[in-house]
């Protein structure tokens, strides 16, 4: 179970060009939970490369980490049923921040990056 | 205060002795441990990592985010289509002498080493989890337990933790129990440190994690019906924070005091049932599955083999 509990959390998901979610399992064989972990690995690499603290990262840096994540996902074979039936032309990486507030749970959306899928 | 300390010392002195295993139990524990490497029950498609992937289902030929020993050596060769099947079947072949208790000082380090290498490559893809960790650690502990006594006996000395032939045979299994206990105690201590002692108090905030995992499921697979089920649970946790602390705090104390499972077989059973229940409830609440943990808890702590043999023995004596 979680060693640290916070009132705030976030996760990521992928979106198609039409705004519908692109399910991570059928397209890339991973869960949305793994998507988040891989994104943060890329962000950590970038932070080390730029020699920056987390609070100094800019939206452009977050977008660069997102681009690296999508590029890694696209390295995989695209021969699953989902790719054959509904090939993605564009992928948007979206971050959702969740917070526990007095009146319930609040969600906030941030678009991290959008990438065209090379043929 | 002194009387309490004396009582605790006397109580501890009556337990924490190495467990004694009969030949049938040792054989079945090895068989079940070997089977855990390859087979795990449950809905496999819900989790990214399950038991050792079958040949053809392991396609990791790079390590974009090296982890652990992958920092020192490039493990990407393991996933090559002409290499991985050989490693898979090598582990399967090594498990045969392991199950029969033959050449443990040779086969166990090989099984543990290959298991660790394969899952290190798995953990070097950028998404690190610890769901396979306990099995690697149990295998590593068994390998060390099989090797260590050799260093003493080769010098003509008695291995201190296992001075009799029976203790020597049981040592591998007693170390496995210690490794399992250590995994949970470390998890408990890390919660204690990371939350500055406030973990139980903060448990009502786990609703945020539940919302997150629930949302994530809906972006993983389209046809996931769990969302509606959890709405009531989230509302309950929000409305009843004290009850939530009591319910979830129990799991924390089970982890922190898991070393008590080494007291005797009954305590092992009690902790086995408790920790297994904790995993099942976490799986239900947060979709965090730890099938290796659950299976090893059933094998080594709940241990139906021991209790079945004990009941059969008692029935034979009275009939």
The predicted complex's ipTM stands at 0.93
Average pLDDT over residues B99-125: 95
CA angle B93, B97, B98 (to 5 degrees): 95
Closest CA to B111 of B80, B146, B79, B83: B146
Q: Which residue of A has its CA nearest to B187?
A: A3
Q: Within a domain: residue B290?
A: yes
pTM of the model: 0.89
Q: Do A4 and B45 touch (CB under 8 A)?
A: no
Q: Within a domain: residue B148?
A: yes
- Strand pairing class (A8-15; A90-101): antiparallel
Rama region for B53: left / alpha / beta (φ>0; ψ in -120 to 50; rest): beta
Q: Which of A35-44, B115-124, B229-238 has the lowest mean pLDDT?
A: B229-238
Note the pLDDT of residue B129. 83
Residues facing residue A110 across a β-bridge: A95
Q: Which of B125-129, B196-200, B300-304, B307-311 has the lowest mean pLDDT?
A: B125-129
Q: Within a domain: residue B1?
A: no
d(CA B180, nearest CA chain A) in Å: 16
**If pLDDT is split at 50, 70 and 90, which confidence band does B267 have?**
very high
Average pLDDT over residues B217-230: 74
The residue range of the domain holding B220 is: 20-318
Chain A touched by B50 (CB under 8 Å): no
* B27 has pLDDT over 50: yes
Chain B residues touching residue A1 (CB < 8 angstroms):
187, 191, 251, 278, 282, 286, 288
Q: What is the pLDDT of residues B129-157, one digit of tens each?
A: 887 899 999 999 999 999 999 999 889 88
Using DSSP's 3-state secondary structure scheme, residue A16 falls into coil
Q: Do A7 and B187 touch (CB under 8 A)?
A: no
Considering only the beta carbons, identify the residue of A26, A38, A98 that sits closest to B211: A98
Q: Within a domain: residue B257?
A: yes
Q: Do A100 and B219 touch (CB under 8 A)?
A: no
**Number of structural domains, chain B?**
1
Q: N- to C-terminal Cα distance for chain B?
A: 49
Q: Within a domain: residue B11?
A: no
**If pLDDT is split at 50, 70 and 90, which confidence band does B235 have?**
confident
**If pLDDT is split at 50, 70 and 90, which confidence band does B77 have?**
very high
């Amino acid at each position: 179970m979680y060693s640290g509990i916070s009132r705030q959390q976030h996760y990521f998901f992928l979106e198609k060009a039409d705004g519908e979610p692109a399910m991570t399992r059928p397209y890339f064989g991973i869960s949305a939970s793994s998507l988040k972990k891989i994104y943060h690995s890329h962000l950590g690499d970038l932070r080390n490369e730029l020699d920056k603290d987390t609070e100094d990262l800019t939206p452009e840096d977050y977008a660069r980490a997102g681009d690296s994540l999508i590029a890694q996902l696209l390295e995989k074979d695209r021969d699953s049923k989902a790719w054959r039936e509904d090939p993605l032309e564009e992928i948007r990486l979206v971050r959702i921040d969740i917070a526990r507030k007095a009146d319930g749970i609040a969600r906030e959306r941030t678009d991290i990056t959008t990438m065209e899928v090379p043929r | 205060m002194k009387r309490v300390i004396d009582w605790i010392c006397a109580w501890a002195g009556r337990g924490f002795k190495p467990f004694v295993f009969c030949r049938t139990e040792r054989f079945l524990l090895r068989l079940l441990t070997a089977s855990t490497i390859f087979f795990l029950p449950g809905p496999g498609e819900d989790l990214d990592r399950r038991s050792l992937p079958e040949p053809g289902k392991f396609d990791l030929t790079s390590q974009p985010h090296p982890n652990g020993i992958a920092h020192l050596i490039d493990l990407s060769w393991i996933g090559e289509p002409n290499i991985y099947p050989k490693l898979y079947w090598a582990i399967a072949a090594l498990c045969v002498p392991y199950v029969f208790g033959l050449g443990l000082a040779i086969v166990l380090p090989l099984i543990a080493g290959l298991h660790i290498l394969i899952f290190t490559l798995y953990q070097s893809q950028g998404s690190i989890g610890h769901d396979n960790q306990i099995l690697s650690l149990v295998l590593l502990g068994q390998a060390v337990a099989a090797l260590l006594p050799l260093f003493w006996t080769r010098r003509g000395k008695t291995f201190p933790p296992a001075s009799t032939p029976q203790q020597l045979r049981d040592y591998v299994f007693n170390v496995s129990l210690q490794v399992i206990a250590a995994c949970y105690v470390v998890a408990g201590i890390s919660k204690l440190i990371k939350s500055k002692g406030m973990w139980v108090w903060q448990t009502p905030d786990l609703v945020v994690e539940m919302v997150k995992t629930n949302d994530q499921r809906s972006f993983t697979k389209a046809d996931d019906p769990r969302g509606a089920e959890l709405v009531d649970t989230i509302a309950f946790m929000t409305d009843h924070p004290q009850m939530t602390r009591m319910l979830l705090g129990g799991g924390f104390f089970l982890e922190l005091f898991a070393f008590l499972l080494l007291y005797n077989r009954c305590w092992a059973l009690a902790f086995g049932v408790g920790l297994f229940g904790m995993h099942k409830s976490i799986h239900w609440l947060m979709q965090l599955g730890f099938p290796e943990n659950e299976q090893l808890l059933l094998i080594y702590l709940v241990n139906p083999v021991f209790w079945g043999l004990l009941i059969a023995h008692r029935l034979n004596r009275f009939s």
